[in-house]
Chains A and B, each alone.
Chain A
Amino acid sequence: MNKSKSNRIVVLGVLAFLMVASGCKKKQPAPPPPPPPKAVSATLSANPTSIEAGQSATLTWSTENATDVALDGNKVDPSGSQTVSPTQTTTYHLTAKGAAGTQEATAQVSVTPKATPTPTPAPTPTVTDDQLFAQMVKDIYFDYDKADLRPDAQQALAQAAQVIKQKGWKVQIEGNCDDRGSTEYNLALGERRADSAKQALIRDGISADVLKTISYGKEKPQCTDQNEDCWQKNRRDHFSLLH
């Protein structure tokens, strides 16, 4: 400590002494010393001590010989209770001040995340639109470097058209090619394959504005083996339900 600070303390100490001294009753027999102040006590509890997010707990406290009681900074009665709904685990502080001093008490409320609700039993599954679409509008396949529809493809499309019309579906037709050709030419060939299917569906009574075409060329193959089985699988139109 530097010199000016220690000087100040001496001065204060002297002043304090003087104040105390001057506070004493002058020239009278010393009265009996006042009884020591009763000890301050404080208790705080929470019930329950553990809740789920969204639930509540009750804080209950009591104090003795305290004049100034605060719960986390807010003045409260010396004893009482309060409902709390913390969103996360929280420790509550009760501070009780009295003549004899200060006492603190704490209580913790643990918060666990909301439990997932018990699932209601699933209803008997019904076929969704996506599932029905996949069943009724299957891939059609093409010959090498060809975009014309084989008889089996024409038949499949005629049947698909019935369901598409009935359900009012919007359809994306995706033309694909096997990987032996050139990237750019295959994009063009895929467009021709998609367009072939589109024209057939229009002939079968579907409106052009519910049909969208796109080509993926050889960019999205179903398989990559170098044999005719795989190449045939890739020379296809695939159909998607547009939501």
Chain B
Amino acid sequence: MVKEKRNGTGKSSLLLLGFMLLGSFLSAAAQDRIKIELNMGQERPRLAVPDFKAANGDPQTAPLNTVFNQVLWNDLDNAGIFDMVAKSFYPSQTPGQPAELQAKAWGDPPPNAGVLTFGSLGVNNGKVDVQGWLYDVKNPGAPQILGKQYKEDATPDMARMIAHRFADEIIARLGSGIAGIAESQIYFVSTRSGNKEIWSMDYDGANQKQITKLGSIALSPRISPDGSRLAFSGLTRDSWQIMMYSLELGRTVAFPRNAGDNFSPAWASDGTKIAFASTIHSGLSEIFVADANGAGARRLSTGKGDVSPVFNPKTNGQIAWVSGRTGLPQIYVMDADGSNVQKMTDQGYAVSPAWSPNGLLLAFAWVRNYGPGVLGGSDIYLMDIASRQIIQLTHDGGRNDFPSWSPDGRHIVFQSNRTGNEQIWSVLADGTHLQQLTRQGRNSQPNWSFK
């Protein structure tokens, strides 16, 4: 890292050093506290997930079974709430139905599983039939927890969908009541069609498809809480406007335009309000809130260069945003009526706040050390709002930005240029299970659906 002359005096350098020392002292306690808030819990069931059995010899059965098993394993492994039993510990015989289950073989060491999922998949007459079970293999009598049956058209997409559904059932049952995210979507910006448009994909990176065809520049996608409309900022012939795409109708629908530039829309979690940045009042970017149809816009902030608002999704009573009013951008929080402004960060270059679903944490992108010559490594951080404690989520260098929380509050999707150009990555909020989701073109500004 090139060290350039910093504007800071000796005093601020000492303060910085002090903060860093204090930060590292606190980090263990901060990690625990944040872990609790992330619902990543102390008790993790030991889950064994043997492959489902092929129910018949239909030529489509084996390939669809392969897809199903892969997706089911990934969904459960990535959920962040299970201690997955390594496959190398599995007994040689796996059950395809309850009659075949030998619970002791699974509950005893070496597998030492607490819960077991198993089942079978078969294709008949162009339909794929899946039967799946979840059993407690530790307790006497090995009670059944779940038994599910699925029947869909025999395609790889349907095999994926069934796996997602079954995984979500298991997660809901065993994961302290928080719904699984296997059917959630991620919206993002991609250049691969030739210019920046909004795309969508499954939460695991599958089924990437183009949504908008603006033919210009489309930025900052934000899906509505009910998943029906996608707000974004689009460049028209002479200005930036908030635009609304209806996923149901497959086209943009009317949304009020104004004579300024408008950026970074954000939804209240009840779907009734949209916050955004606009230059309409002063020629400088300020935070506004309007009804979900764009009517009744009123100005909340009066800063220099205010952008990137986000609602507290738990209460919708607060908005976090970015302001350059003191120089480099910092994160602020205010009440949803514009009052009670608090500054959350006071050093470095802090942008892209994202509020956790439980309302307790802010994820954001931060360049702790800044300056004209420094190549600006930006990492994702998590802040506990009540205590202001911060932990660092990414460490591997490069520019990491635009964190977005999953609906279960356990995962974060973000953009990173660590492979050489911008791509979308997901990670568990404890820093594990880092996965690259996109590879083609340049991909940025991911936004995780509300459900």
Contact = CB atoms under 8 A, between A and B. Distances in A.
B263 interface: yes
Interface of B: 196, 217, 219-220, 235, 238-240, 261, 263-264, 277, 279, 283-285, 304-308, 322, 324, 327-329, 349, 351-352, 365, 371-373, 375-376, 378, 399, 401-402, 444-445
A187 B327 contact: no
A189 B329 CA distance: 10
Interface string A200-218: 0000000000001111000
A144 interface: yes
A212 B239 CA distance: 10
Interface of A: 143-145, 147, 172, 180-185, 187-189, 191-192, 194-195, 198, 212-215, 219, 226, 228
Contacts of A212: 238
* From A145, A172, A212, A228, residue with most partner B Cβ within 10 Å: A145
Contacts of A180: 375-376, 399
* From B239, B305, B371, B372, residue with most partner A Cβ within 10 Å: B305
* From B217, B329, B365, B399, residue with most partner A Cβ within 10 Å: B329
Given A191-B284, A192-B284, A185 B279 contact: no
B372 A143 contact: yes
A187 B261 contact: yes
Given A184-B308, A185-B322, A188-B285, 19 more contacts: A145-B328, A183-B444, A184-B322, A185-B308, A185-B329, A185-B351, A187-B240, A187-B263, A187-B264, A188-B277, A188-B306, A189-B324, A191-B285, A212-B238, A213-B279, A214-B240, A219-B196, A219-B217, A219-B235
A187 B279 CA distance: 11
B255 to A, nearest CB: 18
Contact of B261 (A147, A182, A198, A215): A215
B419 to A, nearest CB: 15
Contacts of A219: 196, 217, 219, 235
A145 B220 contact: no
A182 B352 contact: yes
B164 to A, nearest CB: 31
Nearest to A195: B283
Contacts of B264: 184, 187
22 contacts: A145-B327, A172-B238, A181-B351, A183-B219, A184-B219, A184-B220, A185-B308, A187-B264, A188-B263, A188-B284, A188-B305, A188-B322, A191-B285, A191-B305, A192-B284, A192-B285, A192-B305, A195-B284, A198-B283, A213-B279, A215-B240, A215-B261
Given A192-B324, A215-B261, A228-B373, A187 B285 contact: yes
Nearest to A198: B283
B28 to A, nearest CB: 30
Contact of B307 (A143, A144, A184, A198): A184
Enumerate the 3 nearest inter-chain pairs by beta-carbon distance, A residue then B residue, closest first. Answer: A188-B305, A188-B285, A144-B372
Given A192-B304, A214-B239, A228-B373, A184 B327 contact: no
A188 B283 contact: no
A240 to B, nearest CB: 10
A145 B351 CA distance: 13
Given A189-B305, A189-B324, A184 B372 contact: no
B217 A183 contact: no
Contact of A188 (B219, B307, B328, B375): B307
Contacts of A172: 238
A213 B279 CA distance: 10
A182 B351 contact: yes
Contact of A185 (B196, B284, B324): B324
* From A183, A195, A228, residue with most partner B Cβ within 10 Å: A183
